[in-house]
Structure 1
């Protein structure tokens, strides 16, 4: 799987029989990961709220912690949202 923002290739564990067509995404959704096997969308993020998803198992470690940064990203998004709500 290729992470589109950095071009980094991650070795991941995935098994899916369906995929989200990147061309069908609404304007607030941006593709973040793409399969190097078939070009299918393997991740997206929303631009107007703290949400993202991937279509692989980031907790698995087929590569040397290739996708663990996703957990850090999730924690950072939740912390920022908490601070935003406290300030409101």
Structure 2
């Protein structure tokens, strides 16, 4: 599923897989114009890792 689209040329810049914790972006979220513009991507990643660790431990 497309999740991000370039405002410059309309190209696809992000995808996610339905039903799986898999996603990707083709840009540098750590270099965003604002300090919190894409912080949610890092939060989503950290949450997925924590959830996976909990599942593996249980």
TM-score under structure 2 length normalisation: 0.80
The two structures, once aligned, show a CA RMSD in angstroms of 1.4
Q: Where does structure 1 lack aligned partners over 5 or more consecutive residues?
A: 1-29
Give the number of aligned pairs.
Answer: 58
Which aligned pairs between 1:67-82 and structure 2 lie closer than 5 A? 67-82=38-53
Q: Where do 4+ consecutive residues of structure 1 move more than 6 Å?
A: none
Q: Are 1:50 and 1:78, in contact at CA under 8 Å, matched by a contact in 2?
A: no
Worse-superposed segment, 66-75 or 42-51: 42-51
Tell me what 1:54 maps to.
Answer: 25
What is the alpha-carbon distance in structure 1 between the residues aligned to residue 41 and residue 3 of structure 2? 11
Paired position in structure 2 for 1:32 = 3
Higher strand proportion: 2
What whole-Å deviation, never above 9, does each CA across 1:35-69 have from its counterpart, x for those lacking one?
A: 12221111011223222110110111322321111
Q: Normalising by the residue count of structure 1, what TM-score does the alignment of the two structures yield?
A: 0.57
- Give structure 2 stretches of 5+ with no counterpart: none
Relative to its length, the structure with more helix (as a share) is: 2
User: Is the counterpart of residue 45 in structure 1 residue 16 in structure 2?
Assistant: yes
